[in-house]
């Protein structure tokens, strides 16, 4: 076969060495609830689906339905995958200042609006970041 009809192969390159992250950045945040709730998770951010993103003690990503950034929560894992876990909020240990009670009485059972527990300005900021 002629080389005119074959794709050129990309040369594999080793990734460049980057500065190693500081020990503080590599370590998860210390659990202030460790004595009563050793498996408590600190929610880092929201996923594009509106679920809280946290890391467990082994460093595995956990997507927490109903959690907001900055909160400390305990969870019930609903599904385990090789690279991440799906979980639901079990107990809210420390609430985010952006948390509010959902204005809709059907929020817990409907499932149509995932972010009603987040204040309106924070919802707008989150949605703008997605776009």
Whole-prediction pTM: 0.73
Ordered by where they begin, the domains of the chain are 33-130 (2.40.50.140)
pLDDT one-digit tens code per residue, 86-131 = 999 999 999 999 999 888 888 878 777 888 888 889 988 988 888 8
pLDDT one-digit tens code per residue, 69-91 = 999 999 999 999 999 999 999 99
With a cut of 70, say whether residue 15 has pLDDT above it. Answer: no
Closest by Cα among 107, 113, 115, 33 to 74: 33
Six token digits for residue 59: 């460093």
How many other C-beta atoms can be found within 10 angstroms of the C-beta atom of residue 73?
26
Local structure of residue 99 (DSSP, 8 states): B
Round to whole Å and give the CA distance between 31 and 104: 33
């Amino acid at each position: 076969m002629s080389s005119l009809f074959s794709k050129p192969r990309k040369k594999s390159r080793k990734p460049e060495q980057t500065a190693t992250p500081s020990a503080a950045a590599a370590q998860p945040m210390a659990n202030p609830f460790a004595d009563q709730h050793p498996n408590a998770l600190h929610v880092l951010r929201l996923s594009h689906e509106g679920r809280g993103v946290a890391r467990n003690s082994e460093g595995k990503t956990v997507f927490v339905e109903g959690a907001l950034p900055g909160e400390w929560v305990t969870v019930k894992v609903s599904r385990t995958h090789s690279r991440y876990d799906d979980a639901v909020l079990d107990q809210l240990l420390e609430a985010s200042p952006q948390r509010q009670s959902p204005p809709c009485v059907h929020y817990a059972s409907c499932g149509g609006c995932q972010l009603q527990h987040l204040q309106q300005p924070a919802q707008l900021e989150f949605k703008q970041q997605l776009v």
